[in-house]
Amino acid sequence: AQSVTQLDSQVPVFEEAPVELRCNYSSSVSVYLFWYVQYPNQGLQLLLKYLSGSTLVKGINGFEAEFNKSQTSFHLRKPSVHISDTAEYFCAVSDHDDYKLSFGAGTTVTVRA
């Protein structure tokens, strides 16, 4: 089973500042990587995913993530955040050809004016 570590549980950030959420995973085999977001009182929404190809993945709402195989990382970034980006963000991993996702513990991002 995969192990996923989100290094920051809480990230406070000012509006229009950049943000980076860190994610590391344990597997040495080929993996799929995901970032999900949960806005207050809503379900899990897929932000972006890495399946293969370019290691820089662009997602919705201006987010992007970079897959680094040697460091087994998949950090999420946004150059300028909005108040509406306040949410909990989850990194998730699965092995190729597996249907199960392993999630990190989540990072709560709070954007202040």
Partner 1 sequence: EAGVTQFPSHSVIEKGQTVTLRCDPISGHDNLYWYRRVMGKEIKFLLHFVKESKQDESGMPNNRFLAERTGGTYSTLKVQPAELEDSGVYFCASSQDSQSYGYTFGSGTRLTVV
Residues binding partner 1 (CB under 8 A) = 4, 32, 34, 36, 42-46, 49, 51, 90, 92, 94, 97-106
- Cβ proximity to partner 1: between 7 and 44 the closer is 44
Spatial neighbors of 64 by CB under 8 A, at least 6 apart, are 48, 56, 57, 58, 76, 77, 78
The minimum distance between CB 17 and partner 1, in angstroms, equals 27
CA neighbours within 13 Å on the CB side: how many for 20? 8
- Cβ proximity to partner 1: between 40 and 113 the closer is 40
The minimum distance between CB 53 and partner 1, in angstroms, equals 13
Amino acid code (one letter) for 34? F
